[in-house]
Amino acid sequence: MEVLAIILFISIFLLILYGYPVAFTLGGISVIYALLFLDPVAFTALPPRIMGVVSNYVLLAVPLFIYMGIMLEKSGLAESLLETMAILFGKLKGGLAISVVIVGALLAASTGIVGATVITMGLISLPTMLKRGYSPELATGTIAASGTLGQIIPPSVVLVLLGSVLNVSVGNLFAASLLPGLLLVAVYIVYIVFIATIRPKSAPSMPDEEIREFKKDGYIAKVIRAFVLPLFLIVAVLGSIFAGIASPTEAAAVGALGATILTIIQGKFSLEVLKVVGRETTHLTSMVFIILLGATTFSFVFREMNGDGYLVNLIEQANLSAPAFLALVMVVVFIAGFFIDFIEIIFIIVPVVAPIFVQFGIDLVWIGVLLGLNLQTSFLSPPFGFSLFYLKGVAPPEVTTGHLYRGIVPFVLIQVLFLVVVILFPEVVYVFIDR
**Is the pLDDT at 73 greater than 80, yes or no?**
no
State residue 42's pLDDT score: 79
Q: What is the mean pLDDT of residues 52-79?
A: 80
State residue 173's pLDDT score: 92
* Inter-helix orientation angle 2-18/22-37, to 10°: 150
State residue 248's pLDDT score: 83
Query: Whole-angstrom Cα distance, residue 351 to residue 329?
Result: 12
Residue 110's CB is within 10 A of a number of other CB atoms, namely 31
My answer on whether omega of the bond before 397 falls inside 30° of 0, hence cis, is no
**Is the pLDDT at 91 greater than 80, yes or no?**
no
Residue 201 domain flag = yes
State residue 423's pLDDT score: 95
Query: Whole-angstrom Cα distance, residue 137 to residue 141?
Result: 6
**Is the pLDDT at 250 greater than 80, yes or no?**
yes
Provide the 3-class DSSP secondary structure of residue 397.
Answer: coil
State residue 260's pLDDT score: 92
Q: What is the mean pLDDT of residues 391-396?
A: 81
Tell me: the pLDDT tens digits for 4-35? Answer: 888 888 888 788 777 787 778 888 898 898 88
Percentage of the chain exceeding pLDDT 70: 95
Residue 145 domain flag = yes
State residue 126's pLDDT score: 85
> Phi, psi at residue 363, to the nearest 5°?
-65, 125
Tell me: the pLDDT tens digits for 326-381? Answer: 999 999 888 888 767 777 788 888 888 898 899 889 999 999 999 999 988 888 88
State residue 383's pLDDT score: 62
Residue of 161, 148, 147 lying closest to 61 (CA atoms):
161
**Is the pLDDT at 321 greater than 80, yes or no?**
yes
Cβ-count burial of 196 within 10 angstroms (0-12 exposed, 13-18 middle, 19+ buried)?
buried
Residue 222 domain flag = yes
State residue 266's pLDDT score: 83
**Is the pLDDT at 122 greater than 90, yes or no?**
no
Q: What is the band of 419 on the pLDDT scale with cuts at 50, 70, 90? A: very high
Residue 296 domain flag = yes
Reported in sequence order, the residue ranges of 15-121 that DSSP labels E, i.e. its strands, are none
Residue 174 domain flag = yes
Query: Whole-angstrom Cα distance, residue 364 to residue 36?
Result: 34
Q: What is the mean pLDDT of residues 298-311?
A: 81
Residue 240's CB is within 10 A of a number of other CB atoms, namely 17
Number of structural domains the chain divides into: 1
Residue 283's CB is within 10 A of a number of other CB atoms, namely 11
DSSP string, 251-312: HHHHHHHHHHHHHHHTT---HHHHHHHHHHHHHHHHHHHHHHHHHHHHHHHHHHTTHHHHHH
DSSP letter assigned to residue 400: -
Query: Whole-angstrom Cα distance, residue 172 to residue 248?
Result: 10
End-to-end CA separation in angstroms for the chain:
38
Domain span holding position 24? 2-430
Percentage of the chain exceeding pLDDT 90: 23
> Phi, psi at residue 76, to the nearest 5°?
85, 5
Which one is predicted more confidently, 23 or 274?
274
Highest mean pLDDT among 237-251, 308-322, 383-397: 237-251
State residue 421's pLDDT score: 94
CB 371 within 8 A of CB 417: no
Provide the 3-class DSSP secondary structure of residue 135.
Answer: coil
**Is the pLDDT at 403 greater than 70, yes or no?**
yes
Residue 405 domain flag = yes
State residue 416's pLDDT score: 94
Q: What is the mean pLDDT of residues 119-131?
A: 81
Query: Whole-angstrom Cα distance, residue 369 to residue 427?
Result: 12
State residue 304's pLDDT score: 85
Q: What is the mean pLDDT of residues 133-153?
A: 89
Task: Name residue 305's amino acid.
Answer: M
Residue 435 domain flag = no
Which one is predicted more confidently, 272 or 246?
272
